[in-house]
Amino acid sequence: MNELKVLTMGEAMAMFIAEDSGSLDDCMRYKRYVAGAETNVAIGLSRLGIKTAWMSKVGDDSFGRMIMKTLTNEGVDVSHVLMDPFNPTGFQLKSKVEQGDPVVEYFRKNSSASKISLEDFPLEKLPSTQHLH
């Protein structure tokens, strides 16, 4: 029953959502969150009681540690995440809008996750799982 059911893989970032509507260059206050489809899936499944792990690479920086803490606190196994001492964790800014789609600006060039290679996660070291996302 302790078997890993779902392994998610992908880039997580710190996300700063504007507290006030309008242009990002006018915004003075933001709230910080974790962003990433794979982390959202992992957290949702973990909340449903499904044994879930997330695999990726984050920078050995405040954003990377915040992401790791958030997922750990949500019950997601992060033992397959690498901490990169050389490349930062990516982040994004997201506007607040009253209607329509928000503006999102990504800062992920040369991020730790963008530098993932096959050598980082050799096939023989991948955990056994029922589903991969």
What pLDDT digit, counting tens, does each position of 50-91 carry? 999 999 999 999 999 999 999 999 999 999 999 999 999 999
Q: What is the mean pLDDT of residues 6-25?
A: 95
pLDDT band at 2 (very low <50, low <70, confident <90, very high): low
Which residues make Cβ contacts (< 8 Å) with residue 121, sequence separation at least 6? 55, 80
Tell me, yes or no, whether 122 lies in a domain. Answer: no
Q: Which domain holds residue 107?
A: 6-111
Task: Tell me how many domains the chain contains.
Answer: 1
Distance CA 43, CA 63 (A): 18
First to last CA, the chain: 20
Domain assignment of residue 107, yes or no: yes
In a domain, 71, yes or no: yes
- Give just the sign of the alpha carbon dihedral 122, 123, 124, 128: positive
Average pLDDT score over residue span 5-12? 95
Per the DSSP assignment, residues forming a β-bridge with 93 are: 16, 105
For residue 97, being part of any structural domain is answered with yes
Domain contains 133: no
> Full-prediction pTM beyond 0.85?
yes
**Does 25 have pLDDT greater than 60?**
yes
Cβ atoms of 102 and 27 within 8 Å: the answer is no
CATH number for the domain including 65?
Answer: 3.40.1190.20
